[in-house]
A and B are shown apart, each in its own frame.
Chain A
Amino acid sequence: MWPFSRHADSTLSGLLAGTLSSRARARVLRHVRSCGRCGTRYEQLVRAERLLAHGHGQAPAPSELTLLREGHLAAVLASAEGSPAPPPARRWLWVGGLAGAALAAAVVVATAPSTPPEWSARGSTPPGATLRLFCLPTTGEALELRDETPCPRDGSLGFAAGASRPGTRLRLTLVSEGLRTEEGPFLIEGSPGHEGAVSLVVPLHEARGAQMEVTASFAGPEDTGSETPPLRRTVRLSPSH
């Protein structure tokens, strides 16, 4: 991405000036979010421009407003059409009856062919890797968790993941009140749009509190670290059925 430097120094001012193409803007922003050095520089530049514009740092500068307005339009429109992620469950492959009868557990893979959109909500489908969460209730069908959809506390969580680089491995960290567990690594067998099941089912009965945070980290096959930023999702928990 950066022929001579792995940092985005030369493009930060272009980012704020609005002179980058939409594709380049998305790429630079993605880098800035995952790189501490460039993130700090970007934020200091933004603060400086805010101070130039208003004399204080609590209101966005005109350039920042333009960047936000134009940079997010496509992603917002895609979400308004209800299409940031492929539709759930055309065909279901049942991966495991893991934990006995109580979990007639049933995960998970939606194999609906679909091309991942170029624009998507950050935090839900970073380019290069996708994670889908599924609620596995004790009775009834598995349900893909999107947005605010809750999962009953007597159910379980299932996962499907895809990565554009073969050999990518997934680690999952699940945190709720009184519970923290790390799972993996799991070899990802699917690609974005064709996610494969992760061999993991997490019963939710031990989780307390109203929600569980799920963090997915992706590591390349050489285990040299990944350019894909960690992906975080919040799962709302509802009372048992």
Chain B
Amino acid sequence: MYLACSDEVARFLAGDVAVQLEGRSLRVRLPPLDVEVAHQETFIRAFRPEARRAYDGLRPYMPYLLRIAHSTAVDLLRSAGKVAREAVPLGDAPEVLQLPTDAPSPEGDALDQELRQVVRAFLDRLSPLEQQLAQLRFVEGLSQEVVAERLAFTRYEVRVRERDLRDALERHLRGTGWFDAEAPGRLSPSR
């Protein structure tokens, strides 16, 4: 069950979280590190004996799980002071779960705009083979084994080239000053 639902929960948490405050609905995005925490906490909550007992086995499981994910995300936002304590999750409203959560919102798009240009510049610098590798591994998410087969490499070669590619991306981000910029929307204290 965990393996079947993990990716869907991660996609849900990486999208905007809807909360209601004084009659207004807000959408707040969790930074990646908080997505990581909320993902684990969601399943821990969902698999606790009391939560398992609370699930009747008749309703579809995924909406039930996403409500827990939503509530976990809001708890995290509240404890970080990102939303007011009075804010309530909109997860109890069925329509919230139907909102697209992985489509770019205008706010998120603005935040990503500058980094998108940096990434595009990085891609433009790559050789055709490196671009192909980036497409297969980063975009399509294929396993190293499948990528090795497609590119007629050994798996070891794919691993080494991928590592080089990631290192190059890291150097590129550092060179463009991105590592010196504070990640937008960071919730957690730095120390």
CB-CB under 8 A from B15, the residues of chain A are: 58-59
The answer to whether the Cβ of B139 comes within 8 Å of any Cβ in the partner chain is yes
Given A52-B139, A59-B102, are A122 and B37 neighbors across the interface (CB < 8 Å)? Answer: yes
The answer on a CB contact under 8 Å between A209 and B79 is no
Given A35-B191, A48-B118, are A58 and B31 neighbors across the interface (CB < 8 Å)? Answer: no
Given A44-B183, A48-B118, A65-B6, are A59 and B11 neighbors across the interface (CB < 8 Å)? Answer: yes
The answer to whether the Cβ of A49 comes within 8 Å of any Cβ in the partner chain is yes
Q: Which of B36, B43, B105, B167 contacts A13 (CB 8 A)?
A: B167
Q: Which of A70-78, A97-105, A128-136, A153-161 contacts B (4 or more CB under 8 A)?
A: A70-78
Q: Which of A39, A65, A225 contacts B188 (CB 8 A)?
A: A39
**Interface SS, A side:** helix
Closest residue of A by beta carbon distance from B112: A57
Which range contains the number of A residues in contact with the other chain?
Answer: 35 or more
Given A60-B35, A121-B44, are A82 and B179 neighbors across the interface (CB < 8 Å)? Answer: no
CB-CB under 8 A from A66, the residues of chain B are: 141
The answer to whether the Cβ of A47 comes within 8 Å of any Cβ in the partner chain is yes
Given A42-B32, A58-B102, A121-B41, are A147 and B48 neighbors across the interface (CB < 8 Å)? Answer: yes
Q: Which of A40, A59, A84 contacts B179 (CB 8 A)?
A: A40
- Annotate B117-142 by CB proximity to A: 1 below 8 A, 0 otherwise: 01100110000000000100111110
Closest residue of A by beta carbon distance from B182: A40
The answer on a CB contact under 8 Å between A79 and B11 is no
CA distance A204 to B182 in the complex (A): 38
Q: Which of A26-34, A88-96, A109-117, A185-193 contacts B (4 or more CB under 8 A)?
A: A26-34
CA distance A174 to B85 in the complex (A): 15
Q: Which of B45, B75, B181, B183 contacts A234 (CB 8 A)?
A: B75
The answer on a CB contact under 8 Å between A57 and B170 is no
Closest residue of A by beta carbon distance from B118: A48
CA distance A45 to B14 in the complex (A): 15
The answer on a CB contact under 8 Å between B47 and A80 is yes
The answer to whether the Cβ of B97 comes within 8 Å of any Cβ in the partner chain is no
CB-CB under 8 A from B123, the residues of chain A are: 52
Which range contains the number of B residues in contact with the other chain?
Answer: 35 or more
CB distance from B125 to the nearest CB of A (A): 13
CB-CB under 8 A from A50, the residues of chain B are: 14
The answer to whether the Cβ of A107 comes within 8 Å of any Cβ in the partner chain is no
CB distance from A210 to the nearest CB of B (A): 8
Q: Which of B109, B116, B191 contacts A36 (CB 8 A)?
A: B191
CB distance from B185 to the nearest CB of A (A): 9
Could you tell me which A residues sit within 8 Å of B by CB distance? 12-14, 16-17, 19, 29, 32-37, 39-69, 71-73, 75-77, 79-80, 82, 84, 121-123, 147-148, 177, 209, 211, 213, 225, 230, 232, 234
Query: Which 4 pairs of residues, A with B, have the shortest CB-CB distance?
Result: A36-B190, A62-B141, A56-B104, A43-B183
A-B contact pairs, 30 of them (CB 8 A): A13-B169, A17-B162, A33-B188, A43-B33, A44-B173, A44-B179, A47-B112, A47-B115, A49-B169, A52-B134, A56-B112, A58-B14, A58-B16, A58-B101, A58-B108, A59-B11, A60-B35, A61-B141, A62-B138, A65-B7, A66-B141, A69-B3, A71-B40, A75-B44, A76-B2, A79-B44, A80-B47, A209-B85, A213-B79, A230-B189
